[in-house]
Structures are given as structure tokens and as C-alpha cells.
């Protein structure tokens, strides 16, 4: 493994910290029905998460011993993201409440803190207590949300370019999750501007001064979530790239990207491709601001709503019956170059563009729904925003398998050219005609999940042909395609168990929603 080490890994004294042999019969693979057979599993502890893929490849390729032997094996759960692995091992759900019992932690002195958090403590990971999202722990934390929008002084006939065109205004709406009115309305302007009722206007003589004031503002209000409309692919990259372009002229802007909650850990950007069978393929800019979540409403609208136009103006008209201020983009540079009243008009426009995304988030209960999805599937909130459907199912499988003493094998992906298709359901062509008598139509509620529950279809209940003789005919079911599954009375499958729990939880949520008197509590239960 030392030969494969890269970067900081080369400085490690030891790569493998321990090897633990699991007792025979304690664990099983989820793939197939195994009749409680006894197989040995080996658990390997490595020094850093980045070593897991290297260790996996080494086992796949074979470990060559000094005696000339080559040892190969199947790896299990070697593709689990580190943060998800930690959460599953410690029974921590996504977006839930955790407790540090008295006497288990030590507060870090202000002069020794590594973060900008209000309270920083040292605590052993196994002292953290996670509370199930029930009763008083079903409430959502009072997260601080900052919705912002920028305006750029573009050249006529050109789309704004951070190498040439300045940022001229940055509007911010700060709210607390669960409240109805913003607690802060602030707009940063380049050059002077008339006051705006109900908002704070902060003017700057230079672009450098304005950008640094905005950075200090973000660090002061310390938002948990940064939101807006198309901020992931435009506003945030533009701010960072503009600061980069001005660094030679203004060296102080080298610290502009120091926005995270972890000191001395600057933000990073990378181009990514999001591809999902449910959402299609999109090119995005993924920005990491440690300790803060970037929640862009434009991708949310693409994913969840079928609209003729996804502009902020059209979306706001559709859901809020409201629209942006009447300022065409071609007027922005002219207003900036005008007098204080012109810049005030532009500032009102910019504030409205920051206010509308927050209104959409509240009206559609977007944040509440995503937090509840995070809780139900057990993944971090940013996984819900940045990743597809598979990670949610994978998380639920991992958690249920852990309780059932099963392991999920890490199967290498098959190349796209080798992938086979799946035959879909049979669709009968309708008999087109005008019918004078009513026609009754029947439809299954959750067709595929219902079939999986009824026939106990799961990886863990799939019976191999050579093992059929070990069971009596009344203990298994043969499907139309020839595959045989053990009946639920003999062993309930992992997938049917998950579906049973999800449906039962949904019924409880509907009951709690009907009994709830608080609007926020109703929204939380509906999000489930």
C-alpha cells in the first residue's frame, strides 16, 4: 500500500491499524439465502478514509505473499462514504438531534479553537447520543438561512465575465427556519445609494472594500445554509473568481474565500457532472464551504416541478403570484452609473431577487421536506441536495443490514457497453372509442413496493437452484421469470422490512399531522 500512497498518505507511519477476524456465522452476505452457513469475515482498519479504495483494489488484484501465494477476496461495504459510515456505525440519522451527556466533553478555550462555532468542545465519538426523531426530537433546529443575490456591471452585448466585470451589489435576506419574517435585510453597494425602508444599505468606495465587507458579514451572521436562485453555478463562482481576478491589485482579497466554519480552511470549487436515472444529466459547479450547506433552488425546481420556464420571474409568478422588480438586465449598468436614486432602484431589485427564493423555500416547505427526507433515509442533508436516489436506498440497506448482521458486497461496476436492459411492465393499448356507460379503472397503490412486500422479494431471500431441495415447497415462491424466493414466514427480506417500516412511519406521520395544531409541526409531518 505504501507504493500506492499519494499526498499526505506518504507521511503515515502505518497504513493498516488493525485486522479483526469476525466469528464464523456472525455475519452473512445479503446476496442470496445462505441457510445460516458459517463464513469468516475479516474487518480491516486503515489510518485514513482515503486508503479504503487502495486497500480494496489490493484485495481485488490479490495480495502476493513471500511464499508465492496470491490471496484474493470479495470486499464488502468498501464503497461507503466515510461520513455515512460513521453515522451508521454510531446510529446517527440524518438531520437529527444529538446529545453530549454532561461530563463527557471538554470545552475548548477560545484561544485554541479550530473553528468559528459558538461553542467548540472535545468529545469521544462513542459518547455521542443520537435521538430518534420522535416526540420532542421531531422538531427542526432553528437553522440560520441566508438568501443572497449579486448584480454585476456587465459590458454592453456581453454576458458578465469575472475577469473584467465588477460585482456592484450583493443583497442578503437572513432568516431563522420556522419564522415568518427575515431578521436581517442588507444590501452592499458599490458607490453611494439612498436609504431603503426596512433594509440596511452598506456602501463602499471600492469593489475590494465591498467584497471584504460581505465576507465579514457572512462570518458574523454565521449562516447554516446559503440559498438563492442559481447561486451554485453563477453567484458563488462569480464572487470567488472575481476576487481571484483582483488579487494582484488587492492582495487582501486572497482571504476572501475564507468563509467556512473551520479556520484556515478555504472554500474550494470543482466542475462536476450530476447524472441520475430520475433527474438526467447536468453540468454543475460544486462549491465546498465547510460547515455550511449551499442550497440552490434552481436545481430543486428542475428536479421537482414541470414548468414551461424556470426563470426566477416565471417560478415566482407560478407559486407566489409575485414577480421581480421591473428592471431589465440591460439597464443594470446604466442604473449603477447613474445617481443615488438610480442605485437605490437597483438595490431594491437586488433585494427582491434575494427575497423571492426564501419565499419559495417557505411556501413549498422545501427545506422542511429535505430535512425529513434526510431523516427518513439516514443520509446527511447535503447528500439529498447533491446526489441521486441510490445513496438514499443504499443508506437504508446498510442500516437494516447492520441490525440483521448482513453485509453488502462491493460489486465492481459493469461498463456501459456491457450493461443489459430491463424489460418494463406490459402496457396494453387502449381501445379508442366513445363509451356511453362508465368504465371502472383500477390502479395499484405503490405497485412495485407492494409486489416486493407480498412476495418477499429481496437479495437476501433469493434461493439458488441447488438449494431448493433443502426447503419444502410451502417455504418458497417461484416467480414467472423462474427466480425463487423464500417466503416471508420463513425469513422476512431486508427490502420488504424497509418498505414495511416506511409505510408504517408514513401512516404515523399522517395521524400526527391530522392531530397537529402548530403549522410548522404539520409541515414537518407532511414532509415525511
User: 432, exposed or middle or buried, with CB in 10 Å at 0-12, 13-18, 19+?
Assistant: exposed
The answer to whether residues 286 and 356 belong to one domain is yes
Q: Which residues pair with 227 in a beta bridge?
A: 147, 295
The answer to whether residues 319 and 457 belong to one domain is no
- Residue 424 in any domain: the answer is no
Q: How far apart (Å, rounded) are the C-alpha atoms in residues 492 and 362?
A: 41
- Give the domain-ending residue among 136, 162, 184: 136
| pLDDT of 107 | 96
Q: How far apart (Å, rounded) are the C-alpha atoms in residues 143 and 95?
A: 11
The answer to whether residues 111 and 173 belong to one domain is no
| pLDDT of 277 | 60
Q: How far apart (Å, rounded) are the C-alpha atoms in residues 394 and 396?
A: 6
- Residue 357 in any domain: the answer is yes
| pLDDT of 418 | 47
Report the chain (528 residues): mean pLDDT per 10 consecutive residues.
73 87 85 81 90 88 72 89 95 94 95 93 95 89 96 87 95 93 96 96 96 97 96 95 95 94 90 68 86 94 91 94 88 93 96 96 92 93 88 95 93 59 75 89 81 93 89 90 91 93 81 69 56
- Residue 464 in any domain: the answer is yes
The answer to whether residues 49 and 166 belong to one domain is no
Number of domains in the chain: 3
The answer to whether residues 27 and 7 belong to one domain is yes
Element (H, E) at 319: helix 312-319
Containing structural domain, residue 259: 144-369
- 3-state DSSP helix/strand/coil percent for the chain, to nearest 5? 40, 20, 40
- Residue 393 in any domain: the answer is no
- Give the domain-ending residue among 369, 400, 421: 369
- Residue 391 in any domain: the answer is no
The answer to whether residues 54 and 156 belong to one domain is no
Residues 6+ apart with CB under 8 A from 499: 449, 452, 453
Q: What's the per-residue H, E or C state across 221-267?
A: HCCCEEEECCHHHHHHHHHHHHHHHCCCCCHHHHHCCCCCCECCCCC
State the angle between helix axes of 519-527 and 494-515 in degrees (0 to 180), rounded to the nearest 10.
Answer: 160
Which CATH number does the domain housing residue 482 bear? 3.90.1600.10
The answer to whether residues 121 and 193 belong to one domain is no
| pLDDT of 444 | 76
Q: How far apart (Å, rounded) are the C-alpha atoms in residues 41 and 20?
A: 9
The answer to whether residues 336 and 223 belong to one domain is yes
Q: How far apart (Å, rounded) are the C-alpha atoms in residues 223 and 145?
A: 6
Q: Which residues pair with 202 in a beta bridge?
A: 188
The answer to whether residues 343 and 254 belong to one domain is yes
- Residue 228 in any domain: the answer is yes
The answer to whether residues 97 and 161 belong to one domain is no
Q: How many Cβ atoms are within 10 Å of 423's Cβ, its own excluded? A: 6
- Residue 404 in any domain: the answer is no
Total-model pTM = 0.85
Q: How far apart (Å, rounded) are the C-alpha atoms in residues 283 and 232?
A: 11
- Give the domain-ending residue among 136, 161, 184: 136
Which CATH number does the domain housing residue 335 bear? 3.30.420.10
| DSSP state string for 382-406 | HHHHHS-SHHHHHHHHHHHHHHTTE
- Residue 411 in any domain: the answer is no
Amino acid at each position: 500500500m505504501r507504493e500506492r500512497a499519494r499526498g499526505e498518505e506518504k507521511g503515515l507511519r502505518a497504513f493498516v491499524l488493525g485486522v479483526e477476524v469476525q466469528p464464523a456465522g456472525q455475519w452473512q452476505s445479503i446476496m442470496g439465502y445462505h441457510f445460516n452457513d458459517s463464513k469468516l469475515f475479516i474487518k480491516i482498519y486503515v489510518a485514513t478514509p482515503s486508503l479504503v479504495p487502495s486497500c480494496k483494489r489490493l484485495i481485488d488484484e490479490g495480495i502476493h505473499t513471500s511464499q508465492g501465494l496470491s490471496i484474493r477476496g470479495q470486499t464488502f461495504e468498501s464503497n461507503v462514504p466515510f461520513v455515512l459510515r460513521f453515522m451508521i456505525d454510531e446510529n446517527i440519522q440524518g438531520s437529527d438531534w444529538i446529545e453530549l451527556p454532561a461530563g463527557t466533553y471538554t470545552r475548548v478555550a477560545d484561544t485554541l479553537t479550530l473553528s468559528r462555532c459558538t461553542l467548540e468542545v472535545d468529545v469521544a465519538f462513542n459518547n455521542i447520543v443520537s435521538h430518534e426523531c420522535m416526540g420532542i426530537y421531531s422538531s427542526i433546529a432553528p437553522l440560520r438561512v441566508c438568501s443572497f443575490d449579486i448584480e454585476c456591471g456587465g459590458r454592453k452585448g456581453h454576458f458578465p465575465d469575472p475577469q473584467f466585470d465588477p460585482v456592484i451589489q450583493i443583497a442578503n435576506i437572513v432568516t431563522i427556519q420556522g419564522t415568518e419574517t427575515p431578521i436581517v435585510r442588507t444590501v452592499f453597494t458599490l458607490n453611494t445609494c439612498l436609504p431603503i425602508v426596512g433594509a440596511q444599505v452598506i456602501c463602499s468606495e471600492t469593489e475590494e472594500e465591498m467584497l471584504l465587507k460581505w465576507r465579514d458579514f457572512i462570518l458574523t451572521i454565521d449562516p447554516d445554509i446559503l440559498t438563492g436562485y442559481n447561486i451554485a453555478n453563477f453567484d458563488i463562482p462569480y464572487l470567488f473568481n472575481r476576487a481571484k481576478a483582483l488579487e494582484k491589485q488587492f492582495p487582501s482579497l486572497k482571504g476572501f474565500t475564507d468563509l467556512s466554519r473551520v479556520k484556515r480552511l478555504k472554500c474550494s470549487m470543482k466542475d462536476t457532472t450530476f447524472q441520475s436515472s430520475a433527474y438526467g444529466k447536468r453540468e454543475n459547479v460544486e462549491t465546498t464551504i465547510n460547515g455550511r450547506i449551499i442550497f440552490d433552488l434552481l436545481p430543486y425546481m428542475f428536479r421537482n416541478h414541470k414548468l414551461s420556464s424556470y426563470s426566477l420571474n416565471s417560478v415566482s409568478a407560478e407559486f407566489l403570484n409575485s414577480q421581480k422588480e421591473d428592471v431589465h438586465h440591460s439597464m443594470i449598468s446604466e442604473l449603477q452609473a447613474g445617481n443615488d436614486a438610480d442605485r437605490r432602484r437597483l438595490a431594491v431589485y437586488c433585494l427582491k431577487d434575494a427575497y423571492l427564493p426564501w419565499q419559495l423555500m417557505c411556501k413549498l416547505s422545501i427545506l422542511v421536506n429535505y430535512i425529513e427526507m434526510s431523516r427518513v433515509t439516514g443520509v446527511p442533508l447535503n447528500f439529498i441536495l447533491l446526489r441521486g436516489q441510490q445513496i438514499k436506498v443504499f443508506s437504508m440497506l446498510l442500516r437494516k443490514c447492520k441490525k440483521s448482521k448482513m453485509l453488502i458486497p462491493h460489486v465492481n461496476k459493469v461498463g456501459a457497453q456491457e450493461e443489459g436492459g430491463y424489460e418494463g411492465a406490459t402496457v396494453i393499448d387502449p381501445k379508442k372509442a366513445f363509451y356511453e356507460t362508465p368504465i371502472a379503472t383500477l390502479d395499484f397503490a405503490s405497485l412495485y413496493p407492494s409486489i416486493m412486500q407480498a412476495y418477499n422479494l429481496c437479495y437476501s431471500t433469493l434461493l439458488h437452484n441447488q438449494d431448493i431441495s433443502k426447503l419444502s415447497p410451502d417455504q418458497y415462491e417461484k416467480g414467472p421469470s423462474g427466480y425463487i424466493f423464500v417466503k416471508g414466514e420463513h425469513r422476512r427480506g431486508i427490502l420488504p422490512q424497509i418498505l414495511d417500516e416506511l409505510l408504517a412511519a408514513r401512516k404515523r406521520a399522517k395521524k400526527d399531522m391530522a392531530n397537529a395544531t402548530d403549522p410548522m409541526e404539520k409541515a414537518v409531518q407532511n414532509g415525511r
